[in-house]
Amino acid sequence: MNINNNMKIGIITAVSVIALFVLSLLITQAPATDNPAAKFGILTLLPPIVAISLAFITKETILSLFVGVFIGEFMLCVNDLNIVSSAVNAFLAIGNEVISCMADPWNAGIILQCLLIGGVIQLITKMGGAKALADSLAKRANTPRKAQLSTWFLGLCVFFDDYANSLIVGPIMRPVMDKLKVSRQKLAFIVDATAAPVAGIAIISTWIGLEISLIASGFKSIGMDVSGFGIFLQTIPYRFYNILILIFIVMSATTLYEFGPMKKAEQEARARKDSEPIKALEAPGFDEIQPVEGVKLTVWNAIIPIGTLVIGALISFYWSGYTTILSGENQALITLMKTAPLSFNGIFEALSASNASVALFQAALLASIVAILMAVLERIMTIEQAISEWVSGMKSIAITGVILLLAWSLGGVIGNVGTADYLAIVLKGTIPYWILPSFIFVLGALISFATGTAYGTMSILMPLTIPLAWAISPDIGFVVTATSGVLTGAIFGDHCSPISDTTILSSMGTSCNHIDHVQTQIYYAIFVAIIAILFGYIPAGFGIAWYICIPVAIIVMYIGLKVIGEKVDFEEIEEESA
């Protein structure tokens, strides 16, 4: 056994050394230029491809992300054929990149928000609130159909932020789904599919500020001064993937039809005995946390802290934007805030200008304080015990922070080697006008999948798409359709990517193995995306209205699900639950 392991290690080491030497040789022969995309060429795809491929092969997310970051840093450090020197410099550069990501205020706020929410969830669980809420939901969502639809509905309710969605809905619904023998993979899919797809089209969310600013800037580049919000509203009916994936969840839940790896996961969950433990498969979570012995179970021990988090987040969003506008130089917005701060326009502008990372951290901190006070005042725990449990909950999320830091580091390295720019240059060319919306959707999906960021993809593609669409067909409706392709394609690619932070958080929130989550949901995402292209963006490119495209796409999606899917029978469980 040891001999075989030593041989494997030796072979892997030898192959790695040869690969690094060949990579160094190719880079040293590349033309000298300050443009990374031109210098590295197709090699810019290497870091994301290595990270994603390793993730699927090894199922080790942290290792895969680390190797991807190392490859990117190695490429940037190559000056000659001395691979030892390049490797050492790459290793040192990884430390700088991770620290840089941690020092970024946005990233730091997200990690702190995740840690604090982890602490809140643990306190809610120890106070019996999570169990009481799960039992209450189980009485109403007493069949697997109702449980999946309840998860979908909760996902719609937490519309304002995709991160908060993943961290709130998953832990609440996990006990209900486990009791009804719905797989963790299906729960993770529903949570993930109601995170970014909902936040991306919500008119009040942490996404909208970036989206409308990119739209407005894109139209200014073609000499048109338009309302970014107005164009955003026009894109909503053409956000075919977002709309169809939300409908697909309902369709799958009500018909009980599954296909691909998800069907196998559901069949295994259905066959699980009540005494058999859930296969979380090394996933982080709160499965082993039990309420304090003898505590009175009440849903208010969950509703009040979670309600504080949600309401506090919305208030923090508003206050953050309000103070930002008043400290700015836009006199029109300052006048609006002073004269009508609570009008629709005032609220919208404040939310658009808010710092979502800081606002969510503030809301999570407030929810933490409320949960600790409740635990003490209800005599469930002492102040020392409550703080200890809160800190313990944060420790449960620590692994997620490591994964997020590596994912962000990979995104930074990918940006430095010019991956997104290379894809945009290679894939952009002379194409028929009617295919442009579909082309933009696919291009956005590829960039987002490779980089793991919808925000970055939108920022890269929007300045290219609007002028290109206007040049091909100077029709505002056509430009709106192409614009929706950017916004939706970025979300589709992000939804599928194993290095996406939203995908990672959905796995964590549901205690589902990350790679299992990616492997099961990607079939569903691609199925919906294909329908979105064939019956959404291609017809829309010819000028067919959305109210024709969407019904046709829904019908085709239903037929496709029935044809390629198979019903995973819940009948026995439903009868027992009734």
Burial class (CB in 10 A: 0-12, 13-18, 19+), 303: middle
- H runs (alpha helix) in 141-290: 144-157, 162-179, 184-193, 196-199, 208-220, 228-235, 240-255, 261-271
Q: What residues contact 313, with CB distance under 8 A and at least 6 apart?
A: 160, 161, 164, 359, 360, 363
pLDDT in tens, 440-453: 899 889 888 887 77
Q: What is the pairing mode between strands 257-258 and 566-567? A: antiparallel
Residues across the chain:
578
Q: How far is CA 443 from CA 50, 422, 423, 425, in A?
A: 20, 11, 8, 11
pLDDT in tens, 37-71: 778 888 888 888 888 778 767 767 678 888 888 99
Residue-level pLDDT at 578? 37
pLDDT surpasses 90 at 554: yes
Residue-level pLDDT at 505? 83
HSE-up of residue 184 (Cα within 13 Å, Cβ side): 26
Compute the mean pLDDT over every residue in the chain, rounded to the nearest whole number: 83
Which position has the token pair 């490859």?
A: 71
Residues forming beta bridges with residue 258, ordered by sequence position: 566
Which position has the token pair 């003898």?
A: 294
CB 494 within 8 A of CB 453: yes
Residues forming beta bridges with residue 353, ordered by sequence position: none
Single-letter code of the amino acid located at 237: P
Alpha-carbon distance 242 to 553, whole Å?
A: 13
When mean pLDDT is compared across 86-95, 130-139, 367-376, 447-456, the lowest value belongs to: 130-139
Cα–Cα nearest to 141, from 513, 570, 565, 568: 570
CB 560 within 8 A of CB 129: no
Cα–Cα nearest to 369, from 314, 313, 309, 282: 309
Alpha-carbon distance 240 to 229, whole Å?
A: 19
Alpha-carbon distance 122 to 128, whole Å?
A: 10
Residue-level pLDDT at 102? 85
The CB density around residue 571, as the number of other CB atoms within 10 Å, is 10
Q: Which two tokens stand for residue 247?
A: 């409908």
Instruction: Indicate the pLDDT class of residue 561, thresholds 50, 70 and 90.
Output: very high
Q: Which region, left, alpha or beta, applies to residue 512 given φ > 0 means left and ψ of -120 to 50 means alpha?
A: beta
Residue-level pLDDT at 210? 67
Residue-level pLDDT at 288? 55
Largest CA distance in the chain: 78
Alpha-carbon distance 151 to 311, whole Å?
A: 20
Instruction: Indicate the pLDDT class of residue 370, thresholds 50, 70 and 90.
Output: very high
CB 166 within 8 A of CB 195: yes
Cα–Cα nearest to 199, from 472, 461, 468, 491: 491
Burial class (CB in 10 A: 0-12, 13-18, 19+), 514: buried
Instruction: Indicate the pLDDT class of residue 19, thresholds 50, 70 and 90.
Output: confident
Cα–Cα nearest to 510, from 523, 499, 521: 521
pLDDT in tens, 174-210: 888 888 889 999 999 999 999 889 988 887 666 776 6
Single-letter code of the amino acid located at 75: M
Question: Is the model more confident about 488 or about 131?
Answer: 488
Instruction: Indicate the pLDDT class of residue 565, thresholds 50, 70 and 90.
Output: very high
Single-letter code of the amino acid located at 522: I
Which position has the token pair 């030796």?
A: 10
pTM: predicted TM-score of the whole model, two decimal places? 0.72
Alpha-carbon distance 484 to 490, whole Å?
A: 10
